[in-house]
Amino acid sequence: DAKTTQPPSMDCAEGRAANLPCNHSTISGNEYVYWYRQIHSQGPQYIIHGLKNNETNEMASLIITEDRKSSTLILPHATLRDTAVYYCIVRVGGGATNKLIFGTGTLLAVQP
Amino acid sequence: GAGVSQSPSNKVTEKGKDVELRCDPISGHTALYWYRQSLGQGLEFLIYFQGNSAPDKSGLPSDRFSAERTGGSVSTLTIQRTQQEDSAVYLCASSHQRGPYNEQFFGPGTRLTVL
């Protein structure tokens, strides 16, 4: 079972920041938080990952709470092409396997 | 560079037939994964290959499912005696294996329809 909880859907106005929350209250100390997204009819796409510190790349920012029980993915200026299902994943296993356990994700609908 | 490729893109088969799905990972990626996504569902892990290690088959739903990876590169997922519940998009992914970092690159998937 997925170790994360996300809202099933969210709306965001084009050009605005999209803030996608994720709860992972049972995360272990050595587990990373990964975010992927899946645009309709495509394979999932990696966005960002983090362990403890906040992270930023060209796609998004990841804010992880100090207790690591939740995180927020921020798309600073959402566009229509950002409409997708966003998956928050806690990486299971270590060394021997790196499978990703996908939950149901959040469907982000960016509105014009 | 070239990404993960999968073939065929679509496959329609009759119940009871065997099917083979192919995945070509990104060159140099030592890890290869198979997932499937049923209509309206999230992704379900099936199997994982890493170098010469024994594969992690913990996600295969039944013994009708098997996969192999030849020469550490191309992988084939085989489904024997297909059932209608096998209808799904089958996704392949590959990654480098460097410590805990694990960015998986996904292919476009094979849409399998079992009539």
Report the C-alpha gap between B6 and B92 in whole angstroms.
Answer: 7
Q: Which whole number is the average pLDDT over A43-65?
A: 94
Of A40-54, A85-99, B34-48, B87-101, the poorest mean pLDDT is in A85-99
CB A78 within 8 A of CB A16: yes
* Chain B neighbors of A104, CB-CB under 8 A: 41-42
Query: pLDDT value at position B102?
Result: 67
The pLDDT of residue A2 is above 70? no
Percent of chain B past pLDDT 70, that is, above it, reads: 94
Report the C-alpha gap between B35 and A58 in whole angstroms.
Answer: 27
Sign of CA dihedral A47, A53, A56, A61: positive
Query: pLDDT value at position A62?
Result: 97
The residue that leads in pLDDT, A15 or A94, is: A15
The number of beta carbons lying within 10 Å of the beta carbon of residue A10 is 16
Report the C-alpha gap between B35 and A80 in whole angstroms.
Answer: 27
* Chain A neighbors of B106, CB-CB under 8 A: 43-45
Q: Which whole number is the average pLDDT over B65-90?
A: 95
* Chain A neighbors of B10, CB-CB under 8 A: none
The pLDDT of residue A96 is above 60? no
Query: pLDDT value at position A92?
Result: 62
Residue A108: name the closest of A29, A3, A8 by CA: A8
Mean pLDDT for all residues in chain B: 91
Looking at the complex, does the CB of residue B14 fall below 8 Å from at least one CB of chain A?
no
Q: Which of A49, A97, A102 is opposite residue B56, by nearest beta carbon?
A: A97
The pLDDT of residue B2 is above 90? no
Characterise A13 by phi-psi region: left (phi > 0), alpha (psi -120 to 50), beta (else).
Answer: beta
Q: Which of B45, B95, B106 is opposite residue A101, by nearest beta carbon?
A: B45
Looking at the complex, does the CB of residue B101 fall below 8 Å from at least one CB of chain A?
yes
What is the dihedral angle through the alpha carbons of A98, B80, B23, A50, rounded to the nearest 10 degrees?
-20
The pLDDT of residue B99 is above 60? no
* Chain A neighbors of B53, CB-CB under 8 A: 96
Query: pLDDT value at position B79?
Result: 98
The pLDDT of residue A34 is above 70? yes
The pLDDT of residue B103 is above 90? no
The residue that leads in pLDDT, B30 or A72, is: A72
Q: B48 - beta bridge partners?
A: B33, B56
Report the C-alpha gap between A72 and A17 in whole angstroms.
Answer: 12
Of A14-23, A89-98, B5-14, B90-99, the poorest mean pLDDT is in A89-98
Q: Which of B35, B42, B97 is opposite residue A105, by nearest beta carbon?
A: B42
Apex A40 CA angle, A38 and A45, nearest 5: 25
Percent of chain A past pLDDT 70, that is, above it, reads: 93
Query: pLDDT value at position B51?
Result: 83
Give kind and range of the element (H or E) at residue A84.
Answer: strand A84-90
Query: pLDDT value at position A1?
Result: 63
Q: Which whole number is the average pLDDT over B82-91?
A: 97
- In A, minimum Cα distance to B41 occurs at A104
Mean pLDDT for all residues in chain A: 90
Percent of chain B past pLDDT 90, that is, above it, reads: 71
